[in-house]
Amino acid sequence: MSQQQSAAPATATTTVARRRDWWRDAVIYQVYPRSFADSNGDGMGDLEGVRSRLPYLRDLGVDAVWLSPFYASPQADAGYDVADYRAVDPMFGNLLDADALIRDAHELSLRIIVDLVPNHSSDQHEWFKRALAEGPGSPLRERYHFRPGKGANGELPPNDWESIFGGPAWTRVADGEWYLHLFAPEQPDFNWEHPAVGDEFRSILRFWLDMGVDGFRIDVAHGLVKAEGLPDLGGADQLKLLGNDVMPFFDQDGVHEVYRQWRHVLDEYAGERIFVAEAWTPTVERTANYVRPDELHQAFNFQYLSTDWDAKELRTVIDRTLEAMRPVGAPATWVLSNHDVTRHATRFANPPGLGTQIRTAGDRELGLRRARAATLLMLALPGSAYIYQGEELGLPDVVDLPDEVRQDPAYFRGAGQDGFRDGCRVPIPWTREGSSYGFGGGGSWLPQPAGWGELSIEAQTGVAGSTLELYRTALRVRRTQSDLGAGEAVEWLRAPEGVLAFRRGEFVCVANTSGESVTTPAYGRVLLTSGEVTEAGGEAKLPADTTVWWTTA
């Protein structure tokens, strides 16, 4: 138990609608707490801020809220370096705030999913500090990956692995040994071969389940188990191989036994609690291994997230995803943005590709038009969908942050991830005017650009055609149309080049990814469209980068 004041256990099903298999078609909203809402005016978002904005999320129409880490942490990697898994970092509040947030969410029929970071801890975790103090050969060092170095005097790292953030994946300590960190040096990897690690995390699961959470998003779910002997990669360009091949430190088969044990813990609790895997694997078929019936419930579909706005490529990944999930009985998941990637309103701008930095009004307009169309396509697909805070406002990445305000550790290491994740983490605007556009009363931890208020919730609420109202309508229609949500397949329809068209019962979705207007059949009554569509003589004219929902009923 942490030093913080504990809270009485909450029941996850207090007033949350008891809908069986709710997670199969859930729309889950990711809250990045430091950038969502600031209740105390210190410039940093917090749990009380999230709690105060829960009615907005209910009215938006989502089913659950996923909270990025709020645990006690030195914040070397925005809270993904956890020092105490049973404490709330004071910058976000305390355990009583977490308890109140969970209870209020349940009263509003929202479920709460919390981040869990089992691949690594902070270097300020009590275990790691004791491991350093006790020296080579101590029992605590066995809970991490400490190794002697290579070379005549152990001056070389134990193997050739690189950090995902760039640079070597090993750091040498004062007594000469090295420890493994696949991410920042402040994030030493746990040794999941040691039974104490598994025991500890099963206890952590129960702690938060007793608090009433409805599930866990598992950070680096593919990374816990390393290949025996920690073999060299042999000079391969590791960073280019990531996501394309099974690596000796990622997606090892042994990780699945960990999740089978975790599933037993979760099944002790009522209320259909769930696990969601952040598992970067080479293929959707490998991802499906994580969601077999006795393991996890969902896994993020990174293959879909990384697909360009292109009909042929999208159809391929949609088909492969549905085919891969069908044998294991798991729902597909669909996601376009999160806290680690360029927002899709920027990513889909010309020229296409991850990391695109839009510079002109034309780029911004194109990116937003494609983002709106992509959202309707995503929400029409069978399964569950994830929304990243601010995408419902059409927020772009903030691409011109000064170097001195950046906090992404990958940026400072100059390699690995693109290092510009701060751009998608700028606090979101709630109002047209005021300090930090309604985020809080004391500015914001990352500077917001001029004009941010014109994209705010206040500015878009009730405005016909706004991106916010598009999301609200889409989620309402998705909930009321029986042919939307859960499912295993789509029926593809003939369509012009650059166009995706599919049927699900009496529902039809047509997405024009091309750069030109196209003519398609008018499939019935228009339910929703991301842009202006004209109909005449049984035909419909779709502008470039537009998605339409029809019902044939």
- DSSP string covering 346-408: HHTSSSPSTT----SHHHHHHHHHHHHHHHHHHHHSSSEEEEETTGGGTPPP-----GGG---
What confidence tier does 353 reach under pLDDT thresholds 50, 70, 90?
A: very low
What is the full DSSP assignment across 239-289? HHHTTTS--TTSS-TTHHHHHHHHHHHHTTSSS--EEEE----SSHHHHHG
Mean pLDDT of the chain: 91
Q: Lowest-pLDDT range, 150-154, 233-237, 292-296?
A: 233-237
- What single-letter DSSP state applies at residue 75? -
Give me the pLDDT at residue 409, please.
63
Residues 6+ apart with CB under 8 A from 187: 76, 77, 80, 81, 120, 121, 122, 123, 181
User: What CA–CA distance (Å, rounded) separates 205 from 218?
Assistant: 11
What confidence tier does 414 reach under pLDDT thresholds 50, 70, 90?
A: low
What confidence tier does 350 reach under pLDDT thresholds 50, 70, 90?
A: low
**Residues of the chain above pLDDT 90, percent:** 82
Residue 270: exposed, middle, or buried by beta-carbon count in 10 A (0-12, 13-18, 19+)?
Answer: exposed
Please say whether the dihedral angle defined by the alpha carbons of residues 274, 278, 284 and 288, taken in this order, is positive or negative: negative
Omega before residue 521 within 30° of 0, cis: no
What confidence tier does 291 reach under pLDDT thresholds 50, 70, 90?
A: very high
Q: What average pLDDT does this structure show over 435-453?
A: 94
Question: Residue 424 in contact with residue 342, Cβ under 8 Å?
Answer: yes
Map tokens 């859930």 to a residue: 26
Give me the pLDDT at residue 14, please.
44
pLDDT at 483 over 90: yes
Shortest CA distance to 25 belongs to which of 372, 330, 323, 392? 330
User: What CA–CA distance (Å, rounded) separates 175 from 183?
Assistant: 22
pLDDT tens digits, one per residue of 459-479: 999 999 999 999 999 999 999
Backbone angles phi, psi at 432, to 5 degrees: -70, -40
| Residues in the chain, total | 553
Give me the pLDDT at residue 283, please.
87
Q: What average pLDDT does this structure show over 199-210?
A: 98
User: What CA–CA distance (Å, rounded) separates 160 from 169?
Assistant: 8
What confidence tier does 241 reach under pLDDT thresholds 50, 70, 90?
A: low
pLDDT at 154 over 70: yes
Residue 259 in tokens: 């999740």
Strand ranges of the sheet holding 534-536, from the earlier edge strand across to the other edge:
518-521, 539-542, 534-536
CA dihedral in degrees (253, 257, 258, 260; nearest 10)? Answer: 130
pLDDT tens digits, one per residue of 10-60: 444 444 555 679 999 999 999 999 999 999 999 999 999 999 999 999 999
Map tokens 């790691």 to a residue: 128
User: What CA–CA distance (Å, rounded) separates 423 from 338?
Assistant: 11
Give me the pLDDT at residue 404, please.
74
The helix or strand, by DSSP H or E, that contains position 471, with its residue range, turns out to be helix 467-480
What is the full DSSP assignment across 499-532? EEEEEETTEEEEEE-SSS-EEEE--SEEEEESS-
Among candidate residues 81, 99, 219, 397, the one labeled active-site is 219
pLDDT at 236 over 60: yes
Q: Residues 176-180: contacts with CB within 8 Å, 24+ apart? A: 176/136, 176/148, 176/149, 177/136, 177/141, 177/146, 177/147, 177/148, 177/149, 178/146, 178/147, 178/148, 178/149, 178/154, 179/144, 179/145, 179/146, 179/147, 180/144, 180/145, 180/147, 180/226, 180/230
User: What CA–CA distance (Å, rounded) separates 374 from 199?
Assistant: 42
- DSSP-derived pairing of the beta strands 84-88 and 71-72: antiparallel
User: Active-site residue 278, yes or no?
Assistant: yes
User: Active-site residue 219, yes or no?
Assistant: yes
Residues 6+ apart with CB under 8 A from 513: 309, 310, 311, 314, 370, 373, 498, 499, 500, 545
Give me the pLDDT at residue 351, please.
56
Residue 125: exposed, middle, or buried by beta-carbon count in 10 A (0-12, 13-18, 19+)?
Answer: buried
Q: What average pLDDT does this structure show over 82-90?
A: 98
User: What CA–CA distance (Å, rounded) separates 184 from 410?
Assistant: 8
Shortest CA distance to 23 belongs to which of 215, 228, 206, 287? 215
Give me the pLDDT at residue 240, please.
58
What confidence tier does 403 reach under pLDDT thresholds 50, 70, 90?
A: confident
- DSSP-derived pairing of the beta strands 539-542 and 534-536: antiparallel
CB atoms within 10 A of CB 358: 22
Q: What average pLDDT does this structure show over 396-415?
A: 72
Give me the half-sphere count of Cα atoms (radius 13 Å) on the Cβ side of residue 535: 10
pLDDT at 137 over 50: yes
User: What CA–CA distance (Å, rounded) separates 234 from 219?
Assistant: 27
pTM beyond cutoff 0.85: yes
What confidence tier does 311 reach under pLDDT thresholds 50, 70, 90?
A: very high
pLDDT at 306 over 60: yes
- What single-letter DSSP state applies at residue 448? P
Give me the pLDDT at residue 412, please.
58
Residue 400: exposed, middle, or buried by beta-carbon count in 10 A (0-12, 13-18, 19+)?
Answer: exposed
Give me the pLDDT at residue 1, please.
40
User: What CA–CA distance (Å, rounded) separates 548 from 526?
Assistant: 7
Give me the pLDDT at residue 333, please.
97
Give me the pLDDT at residue 173, please.
98
Shortest CA distance to 383 belongs to which of 326, 302, 313? 326
pLDDT tens digits, one per residue of 358-393: 557 778 899 999 999 999 999 999 999 999 999 999
pLDDT at 445 over 60: yes
- Radius of gyration of the chain from Cα atoms? 23
What confidence tier does 527 reach under pLDDT thresholds 50, 70, 90?
A: very high
Please say whether the dihedral angle defined by the alpha carbons of residues 383, 37, 106 and 78, taken in this order, is positive or negative: positive
